[in-house]
């Protein structure tokens, strides 16, 4: 029983102690600090400009929201590769509604109504698309990778069918003013949307039974089923949330680009997966924390904006950097995982 007492003091949450125990989180924080210090020294003027930070806060919610959804699916040992397709389909749906209900020159009242309907429709599209993904994964039992790659093609195909491959523009000005505006002239609205969405996910994952259940499902699906969890409903709900978050990302993209098109954000699929893996979520399911994912989003956005300040570095290097970081992170996780296995084995006197 003495061991139990030691265990409880060790587990007592203190911010520093938690950090020391979660080596991955420490690694992310150090990475973030190193990046900030590096850019602060090399590009002092650009980096300490309020505008730089504001433009970052407008940009990262686009892929950040998608990453939050992908994180949930990856905790259940799945993945959602259709987020970009859902986002584009939802934003095109919203654009079509706005254009038909409030064409150019409509009065503000009609425009407000049109925007409200459009937002509801976009979220409904996201929920439906996500539910279809969940159905394919949970009921038809297609491996999540293939199911969502297939539905990505399907949703992008629908988006192309609606638009004929051309961009939809000419939205009511009000939409851009609200969604791409700044609260108190300082805080960009997309940042607020992202913050609220992240807090909701945090509450969902840590304070509700649903959160605990998806961790159980991801750790061991068979055990979860035999302990009486309705895995089908859990998976459908998880993918629905991912779809809704992707459609929110679509609404942010619609405001940022002031138009909707079937092939916007094509690099975001990789970016979202990269963020989630970098944030310490195990691709085989069952573990991962929101704070890690949020740190990973910040790291990638700062890296991206920082690189933009070097005009001689071509944009085409970006996939190389994303891909390289992804490979480096999974390799580092693999190596440190092996080391901690060895340490435990040594402590217990087991053969290594």
Partner 1 sequence: MSQLVRKAIRSNEFYVFLVIAAVCLLIQARSGQFFTANNLVDLANAMVVPGLFAIGAFLVIVSGGIDVSFPALASLAVYAVTRLLVDSHYQGGILLPFALVIGLGAVLGAFNGLFTSRLTVPSLIITLGTANVFSGVMQGALSSVQIPKIPPAMADFGRGSLFVATNPVSGLTSSMPVSFLILLAVLAAVFFLLRYTMFGRGVFAIGGDGSAAARAGFSVRWTKFWLYVIVGVIAAVAGLIRTCGMGQMHPTNLLGMEMMVIAAVVLGGTAITGGTGSLTGVMLGTLLIVIVENSMILLGIPTFWQQFSLGLLIIVGTGISALQIARSGNGLRAALR
What is the closest distance, in whole angstroms, from the C-beta atom of residue 231 to partner 1 in the complex?
Answer: 10
* Identity of the residue, 113 or 165, whose beta carbon is nearer to partner 1 in the bound complex: 165
Tell me whether residue 58 or residue 75 sits nearer to partner 1 (CB atom).
75
User: In terms of CB distance, is 3 or 311 closer to partner 1?
Assistant: 311
Q: Least distance to partner 1 from the beta carbon of 151, Å?
A: 6
Q: Based on CB atoms, which residue is closest to partner 1, 113 or 319?
A: 319
Least distance to partner 1 from the beta carbon of 67, Å? 14
Tell me, letter by letter, the H, E, C secondary structure of the chain: CHHHHHHHHHHCCCHHHHHHHCHHHHHHHHHHHHHHHHHHHHCHHHHCCHHHHHHHHHHHHHHHHHHHHHHHHHHCCCCCCCHHHHHHHHHHHHHHHHHHHCCCCCCHHHHHHHHHHHHHHHHHHHHHHHHHHHHHHHCCCCCHHHHHHHHHHHHHHHHHHHHCCCCEECCCHHHHHHHCCEECCCEEHHHHHHHHHHHHHHHHHHHCHHHHHHHHHHHCHHHHHHCCCCHHHHHHHHHHHHHHHHHHHHHHHHHHHCEECCCCCCCHHHHHHHHHHHCCCCCCCCCCCHHHHHHHHHHHHHHHHHHHCCCCCCCCHHHHHHHHHHHHHHHHHHHHHHHHHHHHHHHCCCCC
Closest to partner 1 by CB, 214 vs 221, is 221
Q: How far is the CB of 307 from partner 1 (least distance, A)?
A: 11
Report, in Å, the least distance between residue 196 CB and partner 1. 29
List residues binding partner 1 (CB under 8 A): 79, 136, 140-143, 145-147, 149-158, 160-161, 164-165, 221-222, 225, 269-270, 273-274, 277, 283-284, 314, 316-324, 326-327, 330-331, 334
């Amino acid at each position: 029983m003495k061991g139990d007492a030691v265990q409880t003091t060790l587990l007592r949450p203190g911010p520093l102690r938690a950090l020391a125990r979660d080596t991955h989180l420490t690694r992310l924080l150090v990475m973030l600090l190193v990046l900030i210090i590096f850019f602060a020294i090399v590009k002092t003027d650009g980096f300490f400009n309020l505008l730089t930070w504001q433009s970052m806060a407008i940009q990262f919610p686009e892929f950040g929201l998608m990453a939050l959804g992908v994180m949930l699916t990856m905790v259940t040992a799945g993945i959602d590769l259709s987020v970009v397709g859902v986002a584009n389909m939802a934003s095109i749906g919203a654009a079509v509604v706005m254009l038909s209900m409030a064409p150019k020159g409509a009065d503000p009242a009609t425009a407000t109504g049109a925007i409200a309907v459009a937002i509801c429709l976009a979220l409904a599209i996201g929920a439906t698309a996500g539910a279809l993904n969940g159905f394919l994964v949970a009921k038809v039992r297609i491996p999540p990778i293939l199911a969502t790659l297939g539905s990505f093609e399907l949703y992008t195909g629908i988006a192309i069918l609606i638009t004929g491959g051309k961009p939809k523009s000419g939205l009511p000005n009000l939409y851009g003013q609200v969604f791409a505006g700044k609260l108190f002239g300082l805080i960009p609205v997309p940042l607020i949307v992202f913050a609220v969405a992240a807090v909701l996910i945090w509450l969902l994952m840590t304070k509700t039974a649903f959160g605990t259940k998806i961790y159980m499902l991801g750790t061991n699906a068979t055990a979860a089923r035999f302990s009486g969890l309705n895995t089908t409903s859990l998976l459908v709900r998880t993918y629905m949330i991912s779809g809704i978050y992707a459609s929110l990302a679509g609404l942010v993209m619609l405001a940022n680009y002031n138009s909707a098109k079937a092939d916007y954000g094509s690099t975001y699929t990789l970016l979202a997966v990269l963020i989630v893996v970098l944030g310490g979520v195990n691709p085989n399911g069952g573990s991962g924390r929101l704070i890690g994912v949020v740190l990973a989003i910040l790291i990638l956005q700062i890296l991206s904006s920082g690189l933009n300040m070097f005009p001689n570095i071509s944009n085409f290097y970006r996939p190389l950097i994303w891909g390289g970081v992804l490979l480096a992170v999974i390799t580092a996780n693999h190596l440190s995982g092996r080391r901690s296995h060895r340490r435990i084995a040594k402590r217990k006197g087991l053969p290594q």
